[in-house]
Amino acid sequence: MQNYATRSETVQQIIKSLNLTRTLYVSSIIIGEPWTGKRTLVRHLFPDVPMVDGRDQDAVETLLSQTDALIIDHYEKVPNTERLNLEDKHIIAIADYAGNTQILDEMFAFIYHMPPLRDRPEDILLYADLYRKEAAEILMLSPEISLSKEVLDIHQNLRSLRASIYREVLLQSGEREALERGLYHYFLNHLPQEADYHHHLGLLEKPLLEAGLHLYGSQLRLAEALGINRNTLRKKIHAWL
């Protein structure tokens, strides 16, 4: 079994604790924001343990009566937790939020809290690199792209991070025709609401100026490269940057 991808000491401690209780008849719950990787973690550690959706009370109770080991997903949405008997069973519950902490203390011997990605900066860079390679392989594009912190979106934890990496791979690997098609569809959707020519001109000039200043390092060299007057360039920079 490959190691679960993490550099977070907190997550590593959760993994260690869950492994120590692997053969014990105890109930554990791991709580954390959506898309923090807690379900993937549990599935990675217990691939052969059946999983049931907590929103289906009957299914949960049926499986509890049939097996000694069970993963209960969406535990916070179990309609009636008081009807569940978790004694003498190996239960791993997964929840997006804590709910009634007193009931949790009574039901579970071990309560783990999966930190959000914003509290795991070491994992942000780890997953950004993993998703960069994944996106390049799936989309059959070059993995040699640069990633700045500004493009890494973690507001929905791993979900938004992954989406932001895929977008960046597409943008940095896109050829002229692909970029033109993207702009075509953008204008097709936005022109009915905003038909001002000058407003949309910024979509072309702003990134051109930003890239040019980064590449040439000065307004004078950029103006010479673009073949325009320096004063004209200064006006455009003032308008867009």
Answer yes or no: is 82 within a domain.
yes
In this structure, the dihedral spanned by the alpha carbons of residues 211, 215, 216 and 219, taken in order and rounded to 10 degrees, is 20
**What is the layout of strands, in order, in the sheet containing 69-73?**
51-53, 69-73, 90-95, 27-31, 110-113
Assess if residue 107 is contained within a domain. Answer: yes
Q: Cα separation of 232 and 225, whole Å?
A: 13
Last residue of a domain, one of 115, 145, 164: 115
Asked which of 52, 83, 115 is the last residue of a domain, the reply is 115
Q: What is the residue-level pLDDT of the chain in tens, covering all 241 positions?
A: 578 999 999 999 999 999 999 989 999 999 999 999 999 999 999 999 999 999 999 999 999 999 999 999 999 999 999 899 999 999 999 999 998 888 899 999 999 999 999 999 999 999 999 999 999 899 888 778 888 888 899 999 999 999 999 988 888 887 888 888 888 888 888 888 887 888 888 888 998 999 899 999 999 999 999 999 999 999 989 888 8
CA distance 93 to 76: 9
Domain assignment present for residue 178? The answer is no
CA pair distance 228, 120, nearest whole angstrom: 47
Q: Report if residue 219 sits inside a domain.
A: yes
Q: Kindly state whether residue 186 falls inside one of the protein's structural domains.
A: no
- Is residue 18 assigned to a domain? yes
Which of 115, 139, 159 is at the close of a domain?
Answer: 115
CA-CA distance, 107 to 80, in Å (whole number)?
A: 13
CATH code of residue 93: 3.40.50.300
pLDDT at 195: 76
Residue 44: count of CB within 10 angstroms of its CB? 15
Q: Could you tell me the two tokens for 18?
A: 């869950």
Residue 238 lies in a domain: yes
Domain count, the chain: 2
pLDDT of residue 1: 56
In a domain, 26, yes or no: yes
Let me know whether 106 and 203 are in one domain.
no
What residues make up the domain containing 51? 9-115
Indicate the helix (H) or strand (E) that contains 41: helix 38-45
The verdict on pTM exceeding 0.95 is: no
* Rounded Cα–Cα distance for residues 122 and 152 (Å): 13
pLDDT for position 46: 96
